[in-house]
Structure 1
């Protein structure tokens, strides 16, 4: 369960996702989050500011690896991404705009 001291800072949509979504602006430091479909909570050391609605890495993601959210591949890492890093256009590319050759 998410810590009773306040609302969660981020939400994990699906068990096994490698990214979560910030539900408020996040600053570096330890942030508590929760899962959409289970009562578990998770704490992550956030390394960079993450704006509301943007993604943060729950695990280390190697360059070229899939980025999964909602239990689906939503993108590909274009650089190594560390656990707690801000995941955005500087280190990931949307799967929506990729073709089978990319």
Structure 2
């Protein structure tokens, strides 16, 4: 089974895509490292390698957690399988 994205802990809201060419509609397999288990859901966006994918629904204003760290807040509602990037996540620094 191909691993498409990695997540540090099941409490995270984002995973990192580790393969090229993720396309909307494709079934994604993700590895949750701390629990050593797999999760699966469809991609809702094309997502480049190295970019983030939402692994659960995130409401506008919610904190985004990646590798156990607060990386910003959602500026729009985001569904599981959507691309997380500058269009829907902003830093809390300013």
TM-score (norm 1): 0.83
Q: Which of 35, 41, 46 in structure 2 is aligned with 1:44?
A: 41
Matched, 1:27 2:23: yes
Determine which structure has more spread, i.e. the larger CA radius of gyration.
Answer: 1
TM-score (norm 2): 0.89
2:68 aligns with: 71
Kept in 2, the 8 Å contact 1:11–1:23? The answer is yes
CA separation in 1, counterparts of 2:4 and 2:10? Answer: 17
CA separation in 2, counterparts of 1:44 and 1:75? Answer: 23
List runs of 5+ in structure 2 lacking aligned partners.
none
Kept in 2, the 8 Å contact 1:15–1:71? The answer is no
Q: Which of 7, 12, 32 in structure 2 is aligned with 1:17?
A: 12
2:82 aligns with: 85
The offset of 1:33, in angstroms, is: 1.4
List runs of 5+ in structure 1 lacking aligned partners.
none
Q: CA RMSD in A?
A: 1.2
